């Protein structure tokens, strides 16, 4: 997921978002796109939504808050941002957890303190970029406590799901690796300039230009998976799908990236 994603087609006037299905034009800003099970979900200025197709979204819960950061781990959703009109959440909301697909949210901490504009989770490892301080924060216990890694220089983080403290990230389009939760890191040479990165099982997925790539050796070498009509800004995956944002469109694969279909 790329922080601060905007769909150009969604920069429309804001209307109240409600109902089982609604026109996608009721959303003003899409900040996060995530694969969640076999679905694609959106963290937006108006709350959490299920993406149905290019014209339709569905609200996933009654809580009205501006979701700036959104992370998925299994059936758990983590979010951060600002309370919306009528919300009783603090400003900023800190870290929230939903275990029921966004129907309700539980406060995990940092309420009134932190607004994460980038949020990543895998097992107990979590990273968040605090928009107030500009610092990268790290948690080794699923958000119960945090330590600062200093000023954030990373645009995207992919956490190694099998190694605590292991992760890869993008810094000005280049790939960097860490085994110690970014207390130290090293750059991995590549001719590609990356826009997004995510982990898929034992391999990595990354986007560059109009293409999606896969690496089986921790980013040392890359093989092209698929090409898309426009520049690709985001790749996101779950155990069931891979989703890619190309231009203002979302493409989904249900067969591990062999084929993609526009949603």
Convert the pLDDT of each residue in 68-126 to its tens digit: 999 999 999 999 999 988 889 999 999 999 999 999 999 999 999 999 999 999 989 99
pLDDT average, residue stretch 140-161: 95
pLDDT average, residue stretch 211-231: 96
Indicate whether 257 pLDDT > 80: yes
pLDDT value of position 27: 67
Indicate whether 256 pLDDT > 60: yes
Say what the pTM is: 0.89
Q: Domain residue spans in the chain?
A: 8-262
Measured from the Cβ of residue 107, the count of other Cβ atoms closer than 10 Å reads: 13
Kindly state the percentage of the chain with pLDDT values over 90: 81
Which single residue is written with the structure tokens 């982990």?
199
pLDDT value of position 127: 97
Both tokens of 95, joined, read: 């870290």
Question: Is 1 exposed, middle or buried, given 0-12, 13-18 or 19+ CB atoms closer than 10 A?
Answer: buried
At a CB cut-off of 8 Å and minimum separation 6, what does 258 contact? Answer: none
Question: CATH second-level architecture of 8-262?
Answer: 7 Propeller (2.130)
pLDDT average, residue stretch 174-201: 95
Mean predicted lDDT score pLDDT of the chain: 89
Q: In what order do the strands lie in the sheet with 125-130?
A: 116-122, 125-130, 135-139, 147-151
Q: How confident is the model at residue 9 (pLDDT cuts 50, 70, 90)?
A: very low
Q: How far is CA 46 from the centre of its chain?
A: 17
Percentages (nearest 5) of helix, strand, coil residues in the chain: 0, 50, 50
């Amino acid at each position: 997921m790329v922080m601060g994603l905007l769909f150009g087609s969604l920069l429309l006037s804001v209307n109240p978002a409600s109902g089982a299905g609604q026109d996608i034009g009721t959303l003003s800003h899409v900040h996060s796109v995530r694969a969640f099970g076999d679905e694609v979900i959106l963290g937006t200025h108006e709350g959490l939504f299920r993406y149905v197709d290019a014209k339709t979204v569905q609200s996933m819960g009654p809580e009205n808050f501006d979701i700036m950061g959104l992370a998925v781990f299994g059936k758990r959703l983590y979010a951060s941002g600002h309370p919306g009109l009528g919300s009783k959440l603090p400003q900023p909301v800190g870290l929230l957890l939903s275990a029921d697909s966004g129907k309700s949210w539980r406060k995990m901490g940092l309420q009134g303190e932190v607004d994460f504009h980038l949020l990543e989770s895998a097992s107990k490892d979590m990273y968040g970029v605090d928009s107030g301080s500009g610092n990268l924060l790290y948690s080794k216990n699923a958000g119960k406590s945090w330590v600062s890694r200093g000023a954030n220089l990373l645009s995207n983080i992919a956490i190694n799901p099998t190694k605590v403290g292991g992760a890869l990230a993008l810094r000005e389009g280049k790939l960097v690796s860490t085994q110690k939760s970014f207390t130290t890191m090293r750059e991995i040479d590549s001719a590609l300039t990356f826009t997004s990165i995510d982990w898929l099982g034992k391999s990595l997925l990354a986007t560059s230009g109009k293409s999606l790539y896969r690496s089986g050796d921790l980013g040392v070498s890359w093989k092209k998976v698929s090409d898309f009509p426009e520049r690709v800004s985001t790749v996101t995956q779950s155990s069931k799908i891979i989703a890619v944002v190309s231009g203002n469109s979302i493409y989904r694969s249900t067969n591990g990236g062999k084929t993609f279909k526009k949603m």
